[in-house]
Structure 1
Amino acid sequence: MIIETKYHGQVKIEEEKIWTFTPGIPGFVEEKQFTLLAFPDNDVFFILQSINTPNLGFVVANPFSFFPDYEFQLDEATIETLQLQKAEEAAIYTILTVQDPFEKTTANLQAPIVVNTENNAAKQTILNDSRYETRHAIFPANAKKE
């Protein structure tokens, strides 16, 4: 299938690469289907692209690339919704707020995106964990200079 995208123009994607957010994404509840698109020569940052709305794409990253100690427990409702059988089936991403300059970019660690890699069910879950906020600097050394 060929889709129009925000950052990549027209791209061909495989149906098996479509993630389904049954409840939608908070703030975008009508948007249920997304795919993950890589940037050329980059294995850290991705675009979570809506299948149906070309201008809706979120810059995301694996939070463990920037926060190796990041950890949380999924609630039973999320585990059930995603039909997760074991932890290894879950892929975790975080939505970034890209800033100018890029070194000021932040990650939303309070609301990670969890994907069941076996069935492509996905959900943005809200954590009730006071350690995490919606805007964590991904380059903390630069954040201290401010």
Structure 2
Amino acid sequence: MKIETKYHGLIEVLEEEVIRFPNGLPGFLEEKEFAVIPFSEDGTFFILQSVQTPDLGFVLTNPFTFYPEYDFNLENQAVNALELDSAEDVTVYTVLTMVDPFHLTTANLQAPVVINVKKKLGKQVILTGSPYQTKHNLFPEAIAK
């Protein structure tokens, strides 16, 4: 199927690759279907693109690339909602707040996007009681200079 996107224009997305978010995303509860589209050639950045709304696309990255010590436990409710059977079925992303200059970009580690890649189900999980915040510097070494 063809979808109009925020960053890539009109693209072809395989229907079986569409991720369903049964409860939408916080602030976008009516948005239930998204595609994860590569945004950088090196595979570091992605776009979580709404299938219905062309202007709704979030820049994502794998948090473990930038924060190797990042760790959290999914509550049973999230495990059930995502119909998870195995940790191998999980992909985790973090939503970025893009800033110009780029080295000031931040990652929301408090609300990771968790996807069951086997069943194509997604949920943005709000971590409670964790040390993570909504704005962690993606490149802290660049800011320290």
Shorter-normalised TM-score: what interval?
Answer: over 0.9
For 2:22, the equivalent position in structure 1 comes to 22
Residue type of the partner of 1:94? Answer: T
User: Is the 8 Å Cα contact of residues 44 and 61 (structure 2) preserved in structure 1?
Assistant: yes
For 1:45, the equivalent position in structure 2 comes to 45
Aligned-pair distance for 1:60? 0.4
Output the CA distance in 2 between the equivalents of 1:2 and 1:47: 16
User: Is the 8 Å Cα contact of residues 48 and 60 (structure 1) preserved in structure 2?
Assistant: yes
Output the CA distance in 2 between the equivalents of 1:50 and 1:42: 23
Give the TM-score normalised by structure 2: 0.97
- Runs of 4+ in structure 1 displaced over 3 angstroms? none
Gaps of 5+ in 2: none
Output the CA distance in 2 between the equivalents of 1:129 and 1:109: 13
Output the CA distance in 1 between the equivalents of 2:18 and 2:67: 27
Give the TM-score normalised by structure 1: 0.97
User: Is the 8 Å Cα contact of residues 110 and 129 (structure 1) preserved in structure 2?
Assistant: no
Aligned-pair distance for 1:119? 0.4
Identity %: 50
What secondary structure, in the 3-state scheme, does the structure 1 residue paired with 2:110 have? coil
What secondary structure, in the 3-state scheme, does the structure 2 residue paired with 1:110 have? strand
Q: Given the alignment of the two structures, is residue 138 of structure 1 paired with residue 141 of structure 2, yes or no?
A: no
What is the aligned residue count? 145
Output the CA distance in 2 between the equivalents of 1:26 and 1:72: 19
Output the CA distance in 2 between the equivalents of 1:129 and 1:67: 19
For 1:60, the equivalent position in structure 2 comes to 60
Output the CA distance in 2 between the equivalents of 1:78 and 1:37: 24
User: Is the 8 Å Cα contact of residues 40 and 46 (structure 2) preserved in structure 1?
Assistant: no
Gaps of 5+ in 1: none
Aligned-pair distance for 1:131? 1.4
Deviates more, 1:37-46 or 1:47-56: 37-46
